Amino acid sequence: MGAKLRLDGRVETLAVSSVEAGRDDIGGVELLAEIREAHRDWINAQYHFEQAVGSDQIDYAVYAIEATQRRYEMLLRQAKRLGTASPEWKGGIPR
């Protein structure tokens, strides 16, 4: 299941994560992968904002930043609640 978005004439399909689909039973490894993906999506949304031209593109980019940031924060809260940890996070944000 996914949502399709149109940006600069391209159609992008966004995957719906198991967390967004209402599943709380995902494992720690899968959750960490979703957190990495959400962080990457957030960074990409910020890049699109920097490249936006015109008020419609800027409005869309702001919306995308807010949405991706909220997803990232939601996943981090879930990881904290589940006690999920990764040794590679010791230096900060996952890569």
- Among 6-20, 32-46, 65-79, the range scoring the smallest mean pLDDT is 6-20
Domain boundaries, the chain: 25-85
Residue 31 in tokens? 């959750």
Average pLDDT of the chain is 76
Separation in Å, CA 73 to CA 6, 18, 22, 23: 24, 15, 16, 17
Predicted TM-score (pTM) above 0.75: no
